[in-house]
Structure 1
Amino acid sequence: MNKKKILIVEDEESLLKLESILLISKGFEVKGVANGRAALEAVAEDKPDLVLLDIMLPEIDGFEVCRQLKSDPATRHIPVIMLTAKKSREDMVRGEKVGADWYITKPFKSAMVIETIQRFLAK
């Protein structure tokens, strides 16, 4: 069976490692990048099955990354899950407006992240 590819976009190195280990242990193929520009390049070069996206990123923030992915016919089908410390209602609404498929706030429960990812990949 083909492993599902997940792109993790997280600028905090320790969190990127933690999320990568968690997803690899669940059988996913994982690529991690630390900024918005690298995220857009990674998606263009190697279309992942799902993007786990932080919002507060260097260069291009997660809202703009999501907006660009969702406005491109070649990538708009890829589920984008925002995984962020930004908890305000305004941020959640903005995430929805740019096309995020789901919004999870930090600190997060690993089981909930895995469950959400599996739900989107089962579609």
Structure 2
Amino acid sequence: MDRKKILIVEDEESLLKLESILLTSKGYDVQGVSNGAAALRVIDEEPPDLVLLDIMLPEMDGFEVCRRIKQNEATRHIPVIMLTAKKSREDMARGEEVGADWYITKPFKSAMVIETIQRFLAR
């Protein structure tokens, strides 16, 4: 079976490690980056099957990263799940506006994240 590739974009190192360990233990091929520009480079060079995206990132926020992924014909099909501490209605609406496929707020339950990822990768 081909292992699904997941790109995690998270600037908080401890969370990036935690999410990487969690997804690797579930059999996913995981790559992590800590900023939006690096995420776009990786997506361009080696598109993942799914992106787990934080919003509060240095230089370029997750909203902008998502907007660029979804505006690009070559990458718009990649599911983007926003995983963020930003919980306001405005933030969620903005996530929808830029094309996020799903929105999960921190703190999160690992099982819910895995379930959501599996649902999108099964499509």
Same fold (TM over 0.5): yes
Match of 1:45 in 2: 45
Match of 2:30 in 1: 30
Deviations 1:5-55 (A, max 9, x none): 000000000000000000000000000000000000010011000000000
Deviations 1:39-95 (A, max 9, x none): 000100110000000000001100000000000000000000000000000000000
TM-score, L = length of structure 2: 1.00
After TM superposition, the structure 1 = structure 2 runs for residues 82-101 of structure 1, keeping only pairs within 5 Å, are 82-101=82-101
Secondary structure of the corresponding residue to residue 51 of structure 2: strand
Secondary structure of the corresponding residue to residue 86 of structure 2: coil
Q: Provide runs of 4+ in structure 1 moved above 3 Å.
A: none
Secondary structure of the corresponding residue to residue 15 of structure 1: helix
Secondary structure of the corresponding residue to residue 108 of structure 2: coil
Match of 1:108 in 2: 108
* Structure 2 segments unaligned to the other structure (5+ residues): none
Separation in 2, partners of 1:49, 1:100: 14
Separation in 1, partners of 2:62, 2:81: 10
Q: Percent identity?
A: 81
Separation in 1, partners of 2:84, 2:42: 20
Separation in 1, partners of 2:37, 2:60: 6
Deviations 1:91-117 (A, max 9, x none): 000000000000000000000000000
Taking only aligned residues, the RMSD between alpha carbons, in angstroms, comes to 0.2
Q: Which amino acid aligns with 1:23?
A: L
Secondary structure of the corresponding residue to residue 59 of structure 2: coil
